Amino acid sequence: MTTSTTEVLAPPTERYTVLGWLRRNLFGSIGDSILTIIAIWLTYAMLKPSLSWGFSVAKWTVIADNLKLFMVGRYPAEELWRVWVVLYLLAAVVGFTWGAWVKGKEKAGYVLLGIPVFLALLPFSPTIRMMILALDLFGFLGIILGRRDNPKFKNWSIISLLLYFPVGILLIGGLTGETGFLPTVKPDLWGGLMLTILLAVIGIIFSFPIGVALALGRQSKLPIISWFSVGVIELVRGVPLITILFMMDLMLPLFLPAEIRVEGVIRAFVAITLFSAAYMAENVRGGLQAIPRGQYEAAHALGLNGFTTMAFIILPQALKAVIPILVSQFIGLLKDTTLVMILSLFDVLGIGKSVLGNPEYVGTAKEVYVFVAALFWVLSYGLSYASQRLETSLGVGER
């Protein structure tokens, strides 16, 4: 009763049991077995001290007690509701956009909605847990609204996204001076994770158009424009970000009259945007050069002029092609923002260092740095995951 199928496939008992899988994949031969044992031993030897430290030795109270500092830095406690409003707005806007644009893909939506639930499981106080869970509420409301059949909603969602950032900054920064409904919160009080994300997001948003302009400028046939672009790109790319920040910190006051003081946050924004734009320009140029000559010719043949060719034919393809590299640049930028400590700003790492100066928490350096590293990892991985989804839905690499 031997048929060819039974010869090719192992018996079901071996194929579908743990033991069978183990034998096939981990203990296939003597060499495999030795390697497996060594690997298991190594993993155990490394994990055991880390885990026992993490669960019994580490004093995580330093994180719990200073959570507000890590999240928003020295932002006044009585104005914290504004940060929450900004977060709720984000949930609503993202939900609305999701509802208007994405049909199906329920799984990814559940993942997004699962984030606040997961956060609420962490040992926060009950009020904070409710505040976090409320994010889902706003997200849901956004999705329900977005799902209603209205053809205008797609445009509205883009407008709401564009409006979100200035509104968010206004909410955080304040509007009405010393007193009033939204009193001004001086930028040097912004800090923690909020500042890190703000710097990175604003850096990427502003550097994008500048970078595209520089990339186009570099390809221009007009020598002044192209030389200027090349000059800016090469100068800025030729120095490390830290020198630009040092310049901003220590040299700028020498150029400006004593009465004029530029806020540290603004200096950081300008430095980061400029730095990021130079890299963005080169990345975009790579995308532009990947577009075959035929596309230009076809566009001209259709009667498009230079501007419309760029805007509707070339740039959409070029930008799509460089999405992976733009995302990795964004991730790099996010981590580079830790350098703003030079400008005496308290990003999440700077807050960590200052917390370590508190006599109550000395000796907790490992806890603090592990926490900050974990934050950065989650953010970076989240970004990279999101970009992979974006690439799949845009069909990058499957031309």
Partner 1 sequence: MSRKLFPVFALLIVLSMVLAACGGAAAPEAPAEEAAAVEAPAEEAAAAPGETEGPAPAASGDTLATVQARGHVICGGNSGVPGFGFLDTEGTFTGFDIDFCKAVAAAVFGDAEAYEIRPLSSQERFTALQSGEIDVLIRNTTWTLSRDTDLGANFVATTFYDGQGFIVRKADGINTLEDLDGGTVCVQTGTTTEANLADTMAARGLSYEPVVYEDVETGWTTYEEGRCDAYTTDKSGLVARQILLTVPDDHVIMDETISKEPLGPVVRHGDDQWFDIVQWTVFATFFAEEHGITAANAGDMMASTANPREKSFFGTEGELGAFLGLDADWAYNVVSQVGNYAEIYDRNLGPDTLTYIPRGLNSLYTDGGLLFAPAWR
Phi, psi for 270 (deg, rounded to 5):
-65, -45
Cα Rg, the chain, nearest whole Å: 26
Of residues 198 and 310, the one with the C-beta less far from partner 1:
198
Of residues 120 and 232, the one with the C-beta less far from partner 1:
232
Of residues 62 and 204, the one with the C-beta less far from partner 1:
62
Of residues 139 and 350, the one with the C-beta less far from partner 1:
350
For 372, residues 6+ apart whose C-beta sits below 8 A from its C-beta are 70, 348, 349, 352
Per-position x/- string for 54-93, each x denoting binding to partner 1 as judged by CB under 8 A, each - no binding: -----------xx-xx---xxx-x----------------
Long-range contacts from 221-230, C-beta under 8 angstroms, 24+ separation: 229/281
- How crowded is residue 256: how many other Cβ atoms within 10 Å of its Cβ? 11
Render 262-318 in DSSP notation, one character per residue. Answer: --HHHHHHHHHHHHHHHHHHHHHHHHHHTS-HHHHHHHHHTT--HHHIIIIIIHHHH
- Confirm or reject binding of residue 46 to partner 1 (CB under 8 A): no
Of residues 138 and 346, the one with the C-beta less far from partner 1:
346
Among the listed residues 344, 381, 385, 392, the single contact to partner 1 using CB under 8 A: 344
User: CB under 8 A: which stretch of 41-49, 213-221, 247-255, 293-301 binds partner 1?
Assistant: 247-255
Shortest spacing between CB 199 and partner 1, in angstroms: 16
DSSP H or E run through 346: strand 346-347
Among the listed residues 346, 347, 371, 375, the single contact to partner 1 using CB under 8 A: 346
State the amino acid at position 328 in one-letter form: S
- Confirm or reject binding of residue 358 to partner 1 (CB under 8 A): yes
Pair 390, 348: CB distance under 8 Å: no
Structure tokens at 346: 């308290």
- Confirm or reject binding of residue 363 to partner 1 (CB under 8 A): yes
Structure tokens at 342: 């030079």
Shortest spacing between CB 236 and partner 1, in angstroms: 7
Q: Choose among 263, 273, 250: nearest CA to 199.
A: 273
Among the listed residues 40, 251, 290, 374, the single contact to partner 1 using CB under 8 A: 251
Among the listed residues 185, 195, 232, 280, the single contact to partner 1 using CB under 8 A: 232
Of residues 34 and 262, the one with the C-beta less far from partner 1:
262
191, 196, 200, 203: CA torsion to nearest 10 = 30
- Confirm or reject binding of residue 243 to partner 1 (CB under 8 A): yes
Residues 342, 77: Cα–Cα separation, whole Å: 25
142, 147, 150, 152: CA torsion to nearest 10 = 50
Among the listed residues 115, 228, 286, 332, the single contact to partner 1 using CB under 8 A: 228
Structure tokens at 234: 């090469």
Residues 315, 24: Cα–Cα separation, whole Å: 50
Among the listed residues 164, 206, 246, 296, the single contact to partner 1 using CB under 8 A: 246
- Confirm or reject binding of residue 351 to partner 1 (CB under 8 A): yes
Among the listed residues 56, 259, 303, 398, the single contact to partner 1 using CB under 8 A: 259
Among the listed residues 224, 301, 303, 398, the single contact to partner 1 using CB under 8 A: 224
Of residues 8 and 77, the one with the C-beta less far from partner 1:
77
Structure tokens at 248: 């901003």
- Confirm or reject binding of residue 244 to partner 1 (CB under 8 A): yes
Per-position x/- string for 182-221, each x denoting binding to partner 1 as judged by CB under 8 A, each - no binding: ------x--x------------------------------
Instruction: Let me know the angle formed at the C-alpha of 350 by 344 and 353, rounded to the nearest 5 degrees.
Output: 120
- Confirm or reject binding of residue 359 to partner 1 (CB under 8 A): yes
Binding site for partner 1 (CB under 8 A): 65-66, 68-69, 73-75, 77, 188, 191, 223-224, 227-228, 231-232, 235-236, 238-239, 243-244, 246-259, 261-262, 270-271, 274, 341-342, 344, 346, 350-351, 353-360, 362-363, 365-366
